[in-house]
Amino acid sequence: MRTPRTGEVLHLTRTASVQFFRPIFVRVIRVLDWPTYDGWLWIDAYELAANGDAVARRSLFVMPAGLIWPDPPAPRSTTRRPVKRPPVRVG
């Protein structure tokens, strides 16, 4: 069973907890060291809007077996296009 790490984005659905009737995306701040039932954990996270902006900070009680790690974005091309800049006038 994988444990979330700081900075990871998770997709939380009903498989993580019944509280997620409406699935959400979150960015993990940290895994909390709070007492809990066996097989569950508390995480501190930012709830993300559709554009990826943080909209709320939340402490969430989740089942790690139900966490979904979305596919990472495709790597960007390593070739850079030259930047066209206007000439600079001096003195």
**Total number of domains constituting the chain:** 1
How far, in Å, CA of 13 to CA of 10, rounded?
A: 10
Enclosing domain of residue 52: 9-66
The string of DSSP codes covering the chain is -PPP-TT-EEEE-TTT-TT-SS-EEEEEEEE------TT-EEEEEEEE-TTS-EEEEEEEEE-GGG-B-PPPPPPPPS--PPPP-PPPP--
**Residue 60 clears pLDDT 60, i.e. is over it:** yes
Give a yes or no: residue 86 inside a domain. no
- Give the model confidence (pLDDT) of 20-57 as tens digits: 999 999 999 999 998 888 889 999 999 999 999 999 99
Give a yes or no: residue 41 inside a domain. yes
What percent of the chain stands above pLDDT 70? 89
Give a yes or no: residue 82 inside a domain. no
**Residue 74 clears pLDDT 60, i.e. is over it:** no
pTM of the model: 0.73
Give a yes or no: residue 32 inside a domain. yes
